[in-house]
């Protein structure tokens, strides 16, 4: 079984595991308290995966999260521990999975459908963003044909 861990780091972080064999979400988790909550939960609860990707955190004046740097700390910890080496920008995975704020209808995103089909709650969206990162990795880094077809099929049915 080939699994990808996707991570949305921050004060509240989301994690999700995407199964390449079934093209389904296997597991999701949300952690709180920034790096202090992320590290122990990651070590104790994250299932073994073949690949991992974590959303990048780019500081810029328009970023409303500049006051909290836990996303940067989590990325640094993941890199330092050699747990992750791929860090897509939010715009990269969100465009592919149609989760762009003010541009997309989240209810039509294939990520929302995957979450609902598997019975996972979306809540504030941290786990959905983590799944978006994992699906981006499958499509863009691994060029996983079934994932690419799933993304295209959903896009065609929405149009």
- pTM (2 d.p.): 0.90
DSSP string for the chain: --EEEEEE-SSSEEEEEEETTTTEEEEEEEE-SHHHHHHHHHHHHPPP-SEEEE------TT-TTTT--HHHHHHHHHHHTTS------HHHHHHHTT--TTTS-GGGSHHHHHHHHHT---TTSHHHHHHHHHHHIIIIIS--HHHHHHHHHHHHHH-
pLDDT in tens, the chain (159 residues): 899 999 999 999 999 999 999 999 999 999 999 999 999 999 999 999 999 999 998 776 666 655 688 999 999 999 999 999 999 998 899 888 988 888 888 888 999 999 999 999 888 899 999 999 999 999 999 999 999 999 987 555 544
In angstroms, what CA-CA distances link 60 with 26, 63, 65, 67, 73? 34, 5, 9, 11, 16
Domains and CATH numbers, the chain: 3-56+67-158 (3.30.420)
pLDDT at 129: 94
CB of 44 within 8 A of CB of 90? Answer: no
How far are the Cα atoms of 9, 74, 122 from residue 78, in angstroms, in the given order? 10, 6, 24
Radius of gyration of the chain (CA): 15
């Amino acid at each position: 079984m080939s699994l990808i861990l996707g991570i949305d780091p921050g004060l509240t972080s989301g994690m999700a595991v995407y199964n390449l064999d079934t093209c389904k979400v296997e597991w999701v988790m949300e952690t709180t308290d920034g790096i202090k909550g992320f590290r122990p939960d990651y070590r104790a609860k994250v299932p073994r995966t073949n690949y991992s990707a974590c959303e990048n955190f780019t500081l810029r004046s328009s970023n409303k999260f500049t006051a909290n740097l836990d996303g940067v700390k989590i990325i640094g910890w993941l890199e330092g521990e050699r747990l992750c080496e791929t860090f897509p920008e939010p715009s990269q995975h969100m465009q592919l999975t149609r989760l762009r704020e003010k541009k997309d209808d989240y209810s039509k995103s294939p990520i929302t459908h995957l979450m609902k089909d598997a019975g996972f709650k979306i809540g504030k969206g941290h786990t959905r963003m983590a799944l978006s990162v994992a699906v981006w990795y499958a499509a863009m880094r691994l060029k996983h044909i079934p994932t690419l077809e799933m993304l295209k099929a959903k896009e065609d049915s929405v149009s």
